[in-house]
Amino acid sequence: MAGGTIETTYKSKVTGYILGCWILAAFGGMMFGYDIGISGGVTSMDDFLIKFFPRVHEKKQHVLEDNYCKYDDELLQLFTSSLYLAALVASFFASKICTICGRKPTILFASGFFIVSSLISCFGSELWMLIFARILFGIGVGFGNEAVPLFLSEVAPVQHRGAVNILFQLFVTIGILIANLVNYVTATIHPNGWRVSLGLAGVPALILFFGSLIITETPTSLLERGKDEEGKKALKKIRGVDDVDEEFEQIKEACDHAKLIKKPFKKLMQRSSMPPMIIGILMQFFQQITGINAIMFYAPVLFQTVGFKSDASLLSAVVTGLVNVLSTFVSIYAVDKVGRRKLLLQACVQMFICQMAIGVILSLNLKKTGTISGGLGLLVLVLVCLYVMSFAWSWGPLGWLIPSETFPLETRTAGFAFAVGANMLFTFLVAQAFLSMLCHMGANIFFFFSFWIVVMGVFVLFLLPETKGVPIDAITDRVWKVHPVWKKFMDDDDRRDMQMV
Ligand code: BGC
């Protein structure tokens, strides 16, 4: 319905150097993923609960406690979600640093926050220290999640941009999986296993730190800051060919236009910026309202709720983590071939069926106390895997890819900050609310998520343009100005640019 774009290819070779840059930068995604995966496991470890949340531990011991409510505790949820609030605020600072200093230093700053935070959370003795460390980690996430997807989209050759950008999400999923595996082992180390879990985040953080010293700056960022010569050199290096004139001219043109805009945040509030803004923010809302983080944060808790024993629950979380990683490869393979829209639509159907089925099974079989039978528990696990699978090749990676490629250069870092901030806000809200919602709504929560999945499908069908194969610096002309709905927002946009900002 809203597809139809002209594809372009410039000359390029994938050299060892650029491959290294992609992978090193993607470690920023691993930090984000490691945290997503680690907190659920840590907050279900007895040693951790006894030390910091004795009330929750006490409640957990009472087998007759309501199944859907045993982990419902505001402070425990605050521990998980404080990071996201910090990341939300930090992403806006990160956008400024990205524009003024470049993508590379922003990634370097992120790694610094991660390293300090891992040290504090490994050795901290009071709850406030752990929360402080999570806030620092959140600032790292704000910086990393702002700079890494932009970096990847800007250095990728146009015909592989989707795949390269999805390395970010691939590393998110690897981070989640590693965290689940780490928790599986550290849960058996008493009483300080949780410290190992939190402290090990320092390892990928160090790789990111050294990586950020080696990677290139993006040609777009260099040109944006008036460093044309360096920009051309960087472009030749990352494309692995000498003949980059055509692409260089296109980036230059986008930069010259961008330089006319002195106040990107003001420009973002104009009508002509609404299409990428609305899409960028809605993509994040929809990504989170799929309920994915109810699974990612609380998988061990959820599986205990349906009757798995503690370590079987952690193991099930490892299984879903593996499915998450492997299915992301499908997206890497398909995104530049079948396009963004088809992946998103297919996933809506699969996620809807799975969520509805889980809701029906739990509401018919899981009463307030007791558990469901082993067979049904296993069926729930299979459905969760099928659900995670479809998320992993669609809304997971594309939630980051699409906003990183749909803003024109003049508003790209500022606009993307809104997308990152929105992601953090909605992640925070889901993390904060999920356990209470599970407690109040019981299994109906899965019907709630299913409803939103239908809304998302309709949104993609009518409002989301296809961006496959369109050069990142030609999006306005080739996507927004020709889209049946969004073109109405693009009227006389250039004239207004000159006058107002
Ligand atoms: C989302 C995270 C989610 C993860 C799961 C990411 O794209 O932003 O919130 O936990 O995917 O793989």
Contact criterion met (CB below 8 Å) for 172 and 33:
yes
Neighbours of 2 (CB within 10 A): 17
Nearest CA to ligand 1 atom 4: 396
Nearest Cα residue to atom 11 of ligand 1: 396
pLDDT value of residue 498: 47
The full DSSP string for 84-148 is: HHHHHHHHHHHHHHHHHT-HHHHHHHHHHHHHHHHHHHHH--SHHHHHHHHHHHHHHHHHHHHHH
Give the Å distance between the CA of 396 and the centre of ligand 1: 5
Best mutation site among 30, 32, 36 for ligand 1 pocket (most ligand atoms within 8 Å of CB): 36
Atom of ligand 1 nearest to the CA of 396: 7
Mutational pocket test of ligand 1: of 145, 178, 296, 430, the residue with most ligand atoms within 8 Å of the beta carbon? 296
Let me know: does 417 contact 94? Beta carbons within 8 Å.
yes
Instruction: Report the pLDDT value the prediction gives residue 108, as an integer from 0 to 100.
Output: 98
Instruction: Give the three-class secondary structure for 244.
Output: coil
How far is ligand 1, taken at its centre, from the CA of residue 43, in Å?
19
Closest protein CA for atom 6 of ligand 1:
396
Position 64 scores a pLDDT of 52
Q: Ligand 1 centre from 293 Cα, in Å?
A: 7
283 CA → ligand 1 middle, Å: 12
CB 205 within 8 A of CB 136: no
CA 165 – ligand 1 centroid, Å: 14
Which residue's alpha carbon is nearest to atom 10 within ligand 1?
293
CA nearest to 113, candidates 20, 201, 218, 24: 201
Residues 472, 477, 483, 487, CA torsion sign: positive
pTM: 0.92
Start-to-end C-alpha separation, the chain: 34
Q: Tokens 């300090």 — which residue?
A: 116
Closest atom, ligand 1, to C-alpha of 173: 12
Q: How far apart are CA 428 and CA 14, in angstroms?
A: 38
Distance from residue 391's CA to the centre of ligand 1 (Å): 9
Q: Which atom of ligand 1 is nearest to the CA of 400?
A: 7
Given ligand 1 and candidates 32, 169, 283, 286, which is best to mutate, with the most ligand atoms within 8 Å of its CB? 169
Atom of ligand 1 nearest to the CA of 427: 9
Residues in the chain: 501
pLDDT string in tens for the chain (501-residue length): 454 455 677 889 999 999 999 999 999 999 999 998 898 778 888 999 999 989 888 877 765 556 667 666 777 777 877 899 999 999 999 999 999 999 999 999 999 999 999 999 999 999 999 999 999 999 999 999 999 999 999 999 999 999 999 999 999 999 999 998 998 899 899 999 999 999 999 999 999 999 999 999 999 999 999 999 999 999 999 999 999 999 999 999 999 988 888 889 999 999 999 999 999 999 999 999 999 988 887 676 678 777 777 778 778 888 999 999 999 999 999 999 999 999 999 999 999 999 999 999 988 987 777 777 778 888 989 999 999 999 999 999 999 999 999 999 999 999 999 999 999 999 988 877 777 787 888 889 999 999 999 999 999 999 999 999 999 989 999 999 999 999 999 875 555 554 444
Residue 6 has a pLDDT of 58
Distance CA 225, CA 57 (A): 54
Return the number of other C-beta atoms located less than 10 Å from residue 200's C-beta: 18
How many other CB atoms are there within 10 angstroms of residue 499's CB atom?
Answer: 6
Tokens of 489: 């927002």
Atom of ligand 1 nearest to the CA of 293: 10
Ligand 1 pocket mutation pick from 281, 292, 391 by most atoms within 8 angstroms of CB = 292
- Closest atom of ligand 1 relative to the 176 alpha carbon: 12
Handedness of CA 229, 235, 238, 240 (dihedral sign): negative
- Show the ligand 1 pocket: residues with CB < 6 angstroms: 36, 169, 172-173, 176, 287, 292-293, 296, 324, 396, 399, 423, 427
Kindly compute the dihedral angle of the four CA atoms of residues 489, 491, 497, 498, in this order, to the nearest 10 degrees: -170
Domains of the chain in start order, with CATH, are 16-500 (1.20.1250.20)
Specify the pLDDT at position 501.
46
How far apart are the CA of 173 and the centre of ligand 1, in A? 8
Task: Name 463's Cβ contacts closer than 8 Å, sequence gap at least 6.
Answer: 2, 278, 279, 485, 486
